[in-house]
Structure 1
Amino acid sequence: MDGLAAPPAARVSPHQARLPSLTGMRFVAALLVFATHGIFVNVLGDQAVKDGYRAVAINMGSVGVSFFFILSGFILTFVAPPGDTLKRFWRRRFFKIYPNHVLMFAVVGLLAGLPALWLWLPNLLLLHGWWPNYQLMTSVNAVSWTLSCELFFYFSFPFLLSWINRIRPENLGRWFWGTAAVGLAIPFLSRFVIPTGPQPIEGTDIGLYELWFSTHFPPTRALEFLIGMLCARRLLLGLAPRIGLAMSTGILVACYVVSLWLPPVFTQVAMWIVPLALLTTALARADVEDTFTPLRSRPLVFLGDTTYAFYLTHGMVLGTVTYGLQQFVGPGSVGLGVIVLAVCLVLALGLAALLYVCWERPIMRRFSRSRTQVRPG
């Protein structure tokens, strides 16, 4: 297989630059992840407030990560250039994902020290999502487990795209709902078929093996990536259902409210596949049709561009700042805790912007294309 199969003629012309509303939505998804991780740094001084915060925000991170996975498949399919090759595609993806990962790996290693070789080497190679070991899955920079999934997605994408482009248009809807049905079945397999295993997260009703299979295992999470690809293909062909931004957002909010009363294994992925697929399609259609959305402003689009850097840095900022506070100040009040979380957010956003402008973007511009692809000028 020498190249990526060119798609049949589309009814919607893809915007080769980007879809600004989806870029802005990346920032919202990143804030959701930050909100959930803010639970675990334990800076709020009142137990009732902590419990209330946890009850409301516990599933926000799952929504954010699921959106990133669906968006990844959607965008790559929507803007796939005709005549692209495996070598060019994988080169772009390598320089998108690895430089930030390696830099943050080094920074966290310097701040906290590296664990044993069997923990840090799979992390460095982004293979740590393939084994049901909680120490390994969350080693070094704990949030990097999602990159293990993304690496698998990027490897699979050219082959999945070739297959999806050969699906008859009238069958795309069946494939969408079939894939969604498999995603909805994952928590039932995790809970009732996969052995539960020890409980890795204190205070959370989910065992190690069901957590791994439903949340960290790359082939399982590839269902969301595939859903995104199918949504993009349907939109390109003018076959996506016309469900607007307000309705798709309402469906997602309703599902979130229901999720607060469900066991964790059901709220990692299954609750979000269909609502986020509808929301992603609605936002993309709004951009294609040049319809206003509140996510298209320049500040939000810029913040969306920095999301990858923000995602990789926010956990380090939360951990470092709150650890220092607890060492030198001790337990604080609720007000102080809120201020600390706000300061962590601002610091993480500033660090992410610096990393994006000075590291991520220059590397992508310099190395994502070979010298023969760059026009002299």
Structure 2
Amino acid sequence: MTATRADLPSLTGMRWAAAFLVFCLHIVVTSMLSPVAAGSKIATLLFSAGDVGVSFFFVLSGFVLMWSARPGDSPLRFWRRRLARVYPVHLVTALLAVLLGVTLGQLVRPDNFYGVPSIGSFLANVFLVHSWIPGQNQSLNTVSWTLACEAFFYLTFPVWGLLVRRLQTRGTTVFALVSVVLVVLPAVAQPSLSFLQSFPAARLGEFTLGVALARLVALGSWRGPRLEIAVAVMLISYFLVPVWPGQYGYSVATLVGIGVLIPAAAVADLREDPSFWRSRTMVRLGELSFAFYMIHLMVIRVARRVFPALVQRGSTAELFVVAGIFAVSLGLAWVLYEYVETPCRRFLTRPRRKQRELVPA
């Protein structure tokens, strides 16, 4: 099989599954469900490892960026496109977090609501460096710590892309193995250090693993299992997460699962094998997944703050509350996608005047 830079819609669909896992995790950890209700116990069993969705995003990011890398592209053009892709939604949700803190008031931990940030905290978050600063990684829109990691990945990608593009199968395999070591080492050396979960340098190995996997697929050298088997491996590794100690262990426990799932989905698309993930519905949800990820925790916290009497009311009531939170989050994600993410991306990536003048009539 000769790989080309084809679209890989199954990976877009899988982005939704990862975002939904994180949503379910936050429903559990924010105590939206009664701890004695059957639904809560089932949700805890199924979604307590939902952080896996973040690991999936990091590996997928490296894969997609390497797969779609443009020959001769300059770092500045690349950074401009990535900034246009993620920054508008980040800025809007950061400002929304400030607005919530001002209007609904400060609530100290463990209630975990939004407060009014200091100037330093606000600037660190807006410029996506807050995950490097102890005590600031959860500032403003809490989930934006992953964007601070992604910003670091984007900053370094021109180096990794240039390096890996020069490697053939053996060299790329070695690069992938080194990436695996970079993921495993922090969890083994200091499993109790929770800051590793959001520290950008500690998460770099997941991103570079994705870069290597994309190169192997592009070379036609991927020899992993088919998509159905890869999904099964991913599910098994997902439920092994509680076995690994430490807050960062989920990245290690699911490394094999994620590492075979993403290339398997890509190969399935290239071969046009059947794939549930590239259905129209899944792809559309995948397009909304970034905005959904960025807004969902705000909706959960506002629901707890504004409607405390609806929280932990028993399994039936809880299901309606969670369904409502999900619907509102998805609706707001659509608004962000249609009126912030898409138009801003088009505006920020439009050809400059000199580029337009070079296009023949």
TM-score strictly above 0.5 = yes
Pairing 1:14–2:14 present:
no
Tell which deviates more after alignment, 238-247 or 112-121.
Answer: 112-121
Give the distance between the partners of 2:184 and 2:295, measured in 1 at CA. 31
Distance 1:263 1:170 in 2: 33
> Once the 2 structures are TM-superposed, how far is the Cα of residue 124 of structure 1 from its aligned partner?
1.2
Are 1:86 and 2:75 matched, yes or no? yes
Equivalent position of 1:116 in the other structure: 118
Matched, 1:211 2:201: no
Give 2:316's aligned residue. Answer: 335
- Give distance in 1, aligned partners of 2:236 and 2:282: 25
1:254 maps to a residue whose letter is I
Note the alpha carbon deviations across 1:149-199, whole angstroms, 9 max, x for none.
0000111011111111122332211221232133122211123xxxxxxxx
The Cα offsets for residues 193-212 of structure 1, whole Å up to 9 and x where unpaired, read as xxxxxxxxxxxxx5xxx111
The partner residue of 1:24 within 13, 18, 23 is 13
Q: Distance in 2 between matches of 1:373 and 1:314?
A: 39
CA contact (8 A) 1:92 1:369 kept: no
Corresponding residue of 1:163: 163
How far off its partner does 1:224 sit?
0.7
The size of the alignment, in residue pairs, is 344
TM-score by length of structure 2 reads: 0.90
Correspondence for 2:224: 242
Q: 2: distance between equivalents of 1:282 and 1:83?
A: 28
Q: Secondary structure at the match of 1:270?
A: helix
The aligned counterpart of 1:186 is 186
* Partner Cα distance (2:162, 2:55) in 1: 24
Letter aligned with residue 334 of structure 2:
A
Is it true that 1:44 corresponds to 2:33 in the alignment? yes
1:319 counterpart = 2:311: no
Instruction: Give the aligned partner of residue 64 of structure 1.
Output: 53
Report how far residue 290 of structure 1 moved.
1.2
For the Cα contact (< 8 Å) 1:45–1:332, is it kept in 2?
yes
Deviation at 1:69, TM superposition (A): 0.6
Q: Evaluate the alpha carbon distance shift between residue 43 and residue 242 of structure 1 in structure 2; reply closer, same or farther with a 3 A threshold.
A: closer
Are the equivalent residues in 1 in contact too, given 2:37–2:315 (CA < 8 A)? no
SS at the partner of 2:244? coil
Question: Cα distance 1:373–1:341, how it changes in 2: closer, same or farther (>3 A)?
Answer: farther
Sequence identity percentage: 32
**Per-residue deviation at 1:369?**
3.5
SS of residue paired to 1:137: coil
Q: How far off its partner does 1:261 sit?
A: 3.2
- Please name the residue that 1:128 is paired with: 130
1:12 and 1:236 in contact (8 A); partners too = yes
- 1:273 maps to 255
Q: CA deviation at 1:263?
A: 2.2
Aligned AA (1:211): S
Work out whether residues 93 and 294 of structure 2, in 8 Å CA contact, stay in contact via their aligned partners in 1: yes
Change (3 A) 1:355 1:376: farther
Tell me the alpha carbon deviations over residues 24-71 of structure 1, each in whole angstroms, 9 at most, x when there is no partner. Answer: 0000111000010001232323425435532431112x2111111111
The question of whether the paired residues in 2 share the 8 Å contact of 1:43 and 1:332 is answered with no
Deviations along 1:294-322, whole A, 9 cap, x unmatched? 01111211110111111110001111123
Instruction: Give the alignment's TM-score, normalised by structure 1.
Output: 0.86
Aligned AA (1:282): A
- Of stretches 260-269 and 119-128 in structure 1, the one that deviates more from structure 2 is 260-269
Pairing partner for 2:242 from 246, 260, 266 = 260
Structure 2: give runs of 5+ residues left out of the alignment.
103-115
Runs of at least 5 residues in structure 1 that lack an aligned partner in the other structure: 1-9, 192-205
Q: Is the 8 A contact 1:46 1:333 kept in 2?
A: no
2:312 and 2:285 map into 1 onto residues whose CA distance is: 32
Q: Secondary structure at the match of 1:226?
A: helix
Instruction: Supply the distance in 1 between the matched residues of 2:5 and 2:244 (Cα, whole angstroms).
Output: 39
- 1:228 matches 2:218: no
Contact map agreement 1:108 1:140 (CA 8 A) in 2: yes
CA 1:330–1:148 in 2, change beyond 3 Å: closer, same or farther?
closer
Distance 1:268 1:329, change over 3 A: closer
C-alpha change, 1:307 and 1:376, in structure 2 (3 Å) is: farther
| 1:201 equivalent in structure 2 | none
8 Å Cα contact 1:59-1:267 kept in structure 2: no
| Cα contact 1:322–1:340 (8 A) shared by 2 | no
**SS of residue in 2 equivalent to 1:265:** coil
**Per the alignment, do residues 342 and 83 of structure 1 end up closer, same or farther by CA in structure 2, a change over 3 Å counting?**
same
Q: State the one-letter code of the partner of 2:221.
A: L
